[in-house]
DNA sequence: TTGGAATGTCAACAAGGCTGACGTAAGCTG
DNA sequence: CAGCTTACGTCAGCCTTGTTGACATTCCAA
């Protein structure tokens, strides 16, 4: 696997981007950029008793309003115990509402309350501001490439979840 | 900050990528892609008693061989206590060597041992394989855009660290 | 020589992952 | 109806990885 180190370089300019050196740059760019990506919401959350896990839950409850716990579990890719701890505090503090399902009463459907929406807005405004600046600086073509590469980096199940997210505005 | 929601959309096609909807997609793509990004090394590390923090330390000790602890601290962006715990186990298990500085004896310079290099190779091979597949699928122009957006998303200090990383092959 | 920088270590703590086990309510199926 | 399965919650315990605070050591530099 560590082969092909230099092999591709000489096949032409068009394959320069597959050099191990280029790949390493991509890896490190991902590492540093992800820190920037989470920095602003983290700062806001740090002021309260919440963490990144709460942000993720709030984000996707907002995105897929009325989602069941099981569905949220699948999106977030954590265990129900882990999610439950976060959900419990969010419900207790009145940011999330859990309604028993009408068709299937075993299910709980999750919604943001008014307070929940407020926090969600604060968090995504901060995160979007940085993303917007980055998008603006890089330009539309770069943004298209950005999304293409990210999508290609996902597992098939993540890609499914992401695809679902893309269509759904409910 | 939550303004401008729809404002830009109507200014023309060229600003479509700055829609809140587009930004949200970018945010979610980042979230899912980062999971994919770390999935393969995490799987390898899970077999051993190591975690993602060990991977990061090993990666950058390999990249900036002979780095001081302080410098590594700045790159990783964690506290010295947090890093120290990780370094201690890596040194104890013979993956990293810590040499007292010759010029400034207060400094410790960090190097990978033979065993350290082996693990580093296993980990980056796995991570590079996915990155390579993503790069190949997306093509060179997308890759250029990918890097542009990521770089624009960093803080200035991260960007400095990343820039240093880009030049240095030592 | 003294202050400060670089490093390390101990202790305590919290967030947020994980597994395993168990309970309850509700739906489904033979 | 009886019994299995599903959805959800919860308790207990463990791990990694981050944090602060306090303190010791070593050594450079003014």
B99: β partners? B109
Q: Using DSSP bridges, classify how beta strands B108-112 and A96-100 pair: parallel, antiparallel or unpaired.
A: unpaired
B131 and A161 in contact by Cβ < 8 A?
no
B56 to chain A, any CB pair closer than 8 A? The answer is yes
Q: Does position A56 have pLDDT exceeding 80, yes or no?
A: yes
Give me the pLDDT at residue B160, please. Answer: 84
Domains in chain A, CATH or no CATH each: 51-138 (1.10.10.10)
Q: How confident is the model at residue A10 (pLDDT cuts 50, 70, 90)?
A: very low
Are B162 and A29 contacting, i.e. CB atoms less than 8 angstroms apart? yes
Bases of strand D lying below 7 A from some protein CB: 6-13, 15-22, 26-28
Segment A44-52 mean pLDDT = 91
- What nucleotide is nearest A88 when CA is compared to C1'? D9
* Gap between the Cα atoms of B167 and A92, Å rounded: 51
* Gap between the Cα atoms of A89 and A119, Å rounded: 14
DSSP state string for chain A: ----TTGGGGG-GGGGGGSHHHHHHHHHHHHHHHHHHHHHHHHHHHHTT--HHHHHHHHHHHHTTT-BHHHHHHHHT--HHHHHHHHHHHHHTTSEEEEE-SSSTT-EEEEE-HHHHHHHHHHHHHHHHHHHHHHHHH-HHHHHHHHHHHHHHS-HHHHHHHHHHHH---
The count of residues in chain B is 170
Residues 79-138 (B) with a CB less than 8 A from some CB of A:
121, 124-138
CB atoms within 10 A of CB B150: 28
Give me the pLDDT at residue A144, please. Answer: 96
* Gap between the Cα atoms of B69 and B74, Å rounded: 9
Name the DSSP class of B85: H
Among B105, B61, B64, B65, CA closest to B87: B61
Which residues of chain B carry a pLDDT beneath 70? 1-14, 167-170
CA-based torsion, A12, A18, A21, A22: positive or negative: positive
- The helix (run of H) or strand (run of E) holding residue B96 is strand B96-100
**Which ipTM score applies to this complex?**
0.89
Q: Is the CB of A88 under 7 A from strand D?
A: yes
A42, A53, A82 from A75: Cα distances, Å = 21, 13, 13
Give me the pLDDT at residue B167, please. Answer: 66
Place of tokens 């010759």: B102
Give me the pLDDT at residue A4, please. Answer: 44
Q: How confident is the model at residue A161 (pLDDT cuts 50, 70, 90)?
A: confident
Are A118 and A125 contacting, i.e. CB atoms less than 8 angstroms apart? no
Of the candidate ranges A35-44, A161-170, B25-34, B125-134, the one whose mean pLDDT is the lowest:
A161-170
- What nucleotide is nearest B91 when CA is compared to C1'? C8
CA B87 → C1' D21, Å?
Answer: 21
* Gap between the Cα atoms of B75 and B163, Å rounded: 11
Among A168, A70, A24, A11, CA closest to B128: A24
CA A79 → C1' D3, Å?
Answer: 28
Bases of strand C lying below 7 A from some protein CB: 5-12, 15-21, 25-28
**Using one digit for the tens of pLDDT, what is the confidence trace for A64-76?**
999 999 999 999 9
User: What phi, psi does B108 have (nearest 5°)?
Assistant: -115, 130
Name the DSSP class of B104: S
Among B119, A79, A54, CA closest to A69: A79
* Gap between the Cα atoms of A37 and B75, Å rounded: 16
Q: State percent of chain A over pLDDT 70.
A: 89
Q: How confident is the model at residue A87 (pLDDT cuts 50, 70, 90)?
A: very high
Give me the pLDDT at residue B2, please. Answer: 46
């Amino acid at each position: 696997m560590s082969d092909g180190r230099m092999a591709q370089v000489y096949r032409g300019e068009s394959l320069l981007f597959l050099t191990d050196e280029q790949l390493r740059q991509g890896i490190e760019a991902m590492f540093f950029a992800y820190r920037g990506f989470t920095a602003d919401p983290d700062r806001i959350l740090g002021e309260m008793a919440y963490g990144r896990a709460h942000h993720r839950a709030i984000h996707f409850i907002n995105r897929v309003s009325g989602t069941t716990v099981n569905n949220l579990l699948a999106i977030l890719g954590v265990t129900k115990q882990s999610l439950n701890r976060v959900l419990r505090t969010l419900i207790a503090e009145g940011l999330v509402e859990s309604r028993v399902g009408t068709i299937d009463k075993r299910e709980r459907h999750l919604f943001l309350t008014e307070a929940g929406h407020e926090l969600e807005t604060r968090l995504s405004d901060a995160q979007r501001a940085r993303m917007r600046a980055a998008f603006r600086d890089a330009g539309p073509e770069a943004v298209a490439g950005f999304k293409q590469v990210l999508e290609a980096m996902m597992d098939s199940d993540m890609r499914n979840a992401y695809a679902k997210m893309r269509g759904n505005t409910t």
